[in-house]
A and B are shown apart, each in its own frame.
Chain A
Amino acid sequence: NAGVTQTPKFQVLKTGQSMTLQCAQDMNHEYMSWYRQDPGMGLRLIHYSVGAGITDQGEVPNGYNVSRSTTEDFPLRLLSAAPSQTSVYFCASSYSRGLAAYNEQYFGPGTRLTVT
């Protein structure tokens, strides 16, 4: 199993550009989530999904969109990049019982995004 994969590993964008960060998992996990991590800070939840076709907002959803058309994939779209979105983005997945992430989360290697 590859676990959780993320592409690209690094990305530089100009202000106003849009892009999609890819995330895929091959563990048949129902729960997937996106976090951002700023220097010296913890992980802040952007969006999450409890299954295909279901998404919900986390703590910091503004400027980001997600969709979940399959169990395996959970892309994160930046609509119009801003310097404040410079961060490291982690995707995570978990086997969930019911609607909550009651089990360990498996994190991808991250995407380091810089917006100039």
Chain B
Amino acid sequence: GQQVMQIPQYQHVQEGEDFTTYCNSSTTLSNIQWYKQRPGGHPVFLIQLVKSGEVKKQKRLTFQFGEAKKNSSLHITATQTTDVGTYFCAGLMDHAGKSTFGDGTTLTVKP
């Protein structure tokens, strides 16, 4: 079926280092959403990207949507221990009625 691939699966960084997770789809996406799930918690919406080439920033987080609307990335500058958790992308395929989640990237930050 239609899939959204997310890499890497795990990322361990030292506090202060940067972090990036990537999301790729084989088909064009109408939009892509990013969620964060803290350990033991539930997914919480971060942002939605809709336009080709769109870039949005939230403090230390930068989100990009590819020109072809088939890939996206989340970049965190100077990670902090509060950034710990799993980051999921969710892509809405054209003509689909529902989003497909990637498997997530789990970020651990060593103080």
Alpha-carbon separation in the docked complex, A74 to B102 (Å): 24
Q: Is the CB of B96 within 8 A of A43?
A: no
- Is A77 among interface residues, defined by CB-CB distance under 8 A? no
Q: Is the CB of A43 within 8 A of B98?
A: no
Q: Which of A15-23, A63-71, A101-109 contacts B (4 or more CB under 8 A)?
A: A101-109
Name the A residues within 8 Å of B41 (CB-CB). Answer: 109
Alpha-carbon separation in the docked complex, A22 to B62 (Å): 36
Alpha-carbon separation in the docked complex, A58 to B96 (Å): 11
- Is B15 among interface residues, defined by CB-CB distance under 8 A? no
Name the B residues within 8 Å of A92 (CB-CB). Answer: 43
- Is B107 among interface residues, defined by CB-CB distance under 8 A? no
Among A43, A44, A56, A107, find the residue whose CB has the most chain B CB atoms closer than 10 A: A43
Name the B residues within 8 Å of A33 (CB-CB). Answer: 98
Q: Is the CB of B88 within 8 A of A58?
A: no
Name the B residues within 8 Å of A48 (CB-CB). Answer: 97-98
- Is B83 among interface residues, defined by CB-CB distance under 8 A? no
Q: Is the CB of A105 within 8 A of B31?
A: no
Which applies to chain B's interface (DSSP): helix, strand, loop or mixed? strand
Alpha-carbon separation in the docked complex, A90 to B90 (Å): 15
With A90-B42, A107-B42 known as contacts, the answer to whether A42 contacts B97 (CB < 8 A) is no
Name the B residues within 8 Å of A104 (CB-CB). Answer: 33, 45, 48
Interface residues on A, range: 20 to 34
Alpha-carbon separation in the docked complex, A50 to B48 (Å): 20
B93–chain A nearest beta-carbon distance, Å = 10
Q: A-contacting residues of B (Cβ < 8 Å)?
A: 1, 6, 9, 30-31, 33, 35, 41-45, 48, 88, 90, 92, 96-104, 106
Task: Give 20 CB contacts A-B under 8 Å.
Answer: A41-B104, A42-B6, A42-B104, A43-B88, A43-B90, A44-B101, A50-B97, A58-B98, A59-B1, A92-B43, A100-B97, A100-B98, A101-B99, A102-B92, A104-B45, A104-B48, A105-B45, A105-B90, A107-B44, A108-B42
Knowing that A40-B106, A108-B42 touch, tell me 5 more A-B residue pairs with CB under 8 angstroms.
Answer: A35-B101, A100-B96, A100-B97, A101-B97, A103-B48
